[in-house]
Amino acid sequence: MEGIYSHRPLPRILLSAFRPLVRRHFNCAHELGHHVFGHSSKLDELKETLENYDDLSPDEFIVDSFAGHLLMPVLGIRRAFARRQIKASTAEPHEVLAISCEFGVSYDALATQLTFCLNDITPVRRHELINARPTLQRSMVGNLDGHGLAFLDKHFSASTLDVEENYLIVAPKGAVASNECVAHVKDFTFGSVFKVTNRGIAELFVPNSSWTVSIRATQQNFVGLARYRYLEDDG
């Protein structure tokens, strides 16, 4: 499953621990939409891609739209592209990845939002971006293995990044971590690569600059109440 919205006896949202973290962010917003629009309990089945919004029921269409605009508001997305002095129609894949990470959503989700909701790129351009993703990851981290990838460029403006154990994080070259929760691995063309070693909270920062991001790392495939997901291991 992707997620469940249960409206009785008390409203609650259940998410699959085995879906990618950024997918869970979208699923949570999607289930919240069911609550906001007064829907009955819903179980949303696993779906990997969305090719056509016409395939959705009215309830699913409205909550998907709600989730997209909640996580990727028009003004915020437009400012993110403007800050980098680029346009969505001509942005490079790594620039799209940086913006998706800034908003805590998947690369594919941002490409879909740019296509179907903002009308900033064509469906053909969306397919080109999605097809470029595997090559993009290899160019950023080589053969390093990770449970997920986040790219924090010099324009990254979010104060916090949510990740899981074994995530790979690409930060500007020269960045350092405040503790062993995030360990430096090596430098590549796009920046310094870090790996999340255990759950907890750390800072990534570039000395003698204003660039800093708080890293909140949860256990991989964490099962439990969301408010406990960043607690450090007892050991």
Q: Are 58 and 78 found together in one domain?
A: no
Query: Is 233 part of a structural domain of the chain?
Result: no
**What's the rounded Cα separation, in Å, for the pair 178 and 198?**
14
Residue whose pair of structure tokens reads 């255990």 in the numeric block = 198
Query: Is 117 part of a structural domain of the chain?
Result: yes
Query: Is 22 part of a structural domain of the chain?
Result: yes
Picking from 141, 156, 174, the residue at the C-terminal end of a domain is: 141
Query: What total of structural domains would you count in the chain?
Result: 3
Are the beta carbons of 8 and 35 closer than 8 angstroms?
Answer: no
Q: Are 162 and 223 found together in one domain?
A: yes
Query: Is 235 part of a structural domain of the chain?
Result: no
Query: Is 215 part of a structural domain of the chain?
Result: yes
Q: Tell me which residue of 90, 112, 89 sits closest to 100, measured CA to CA.
A: 112
What is the three-state SS of the chain? CCEEEECCCCCEEEECCCCCHHHHHHHHHHHHHHHHCCCCCEEECCCCCCCCHHHCCHHHHHHHHHHHHHHCCHHHHHHHHHHCCCCHHHCCHHHHHHHHHHCCCCHHHHHHHHHHHCCCCCHHHHHHHHHHHHHHHHHHHCCCCCCEEEECCCCCCCCEEEEECCEEEEECCCCEECCCCEEEEEEECCEEEEEECCCEEEEEECCCCCCEEEEEEECCCCCCCHHHCCCCCCC
Query: Is 120 part of a structural domain of the chain?
Result: yes
Return the amino acid letter for 105: V
Q: What's the sign of the alpha-carbon dihedral 111, 113, 118, 124? A: positive
The pLDDT, as a whole number, for residue 84 is 97
Name the pTM for this structure.
0.92
In this model, does residue 159 exceed pLDDT 50? yes
Q: Are 118 and 184 found together in one domain?
A: no
**What's the rounded Cα separation, in Å, for the pair 68 and 210?**
30
The pLDDT, as a whole number, for residue 235 is 44
In this model, does residue 149 exceed pLDDT 70? yes
Q: Are 43 and 90 found together in one domain?
A: no
Q: Are 192 and 222 found together in one domain?
A: yes
Which whole number is the average pLDDT over 209-223?
94
Query: Is 109 part of a structural domain of the chain?
Result: yes
CATH of the domain at 224: 2.60.40
Q: Are 65 and 78 found together in one domain?
A: no
Which whole number is the average pLDDT over 134-145?
93
Provide the pLDDT confidence category of residue 230 given band limits of 50, 70 and 90: confident
Q: Are 154 and 120 found together in one domain?
A: no
The pLDDT, as a whole number, for residue 51 is 53
Q: Are 92 and 104 found together in one domain?
A: yes
Query: Is 94 part of a structural domain of the chain?
Result: yes
More confident residue, 117 or 102: 102
Each residue of 49-87: pLDDT tens digit? 555 556 678 999 899 999 999 999 999 999 999 999 999
Across the chain, mean pLDDT equals: 92
In this model, does residue 24 exceed pLDDT 60? yes
Which whole number is the average pLDDT over 108-124?
95
| Residue 125, domain extent | 74-141
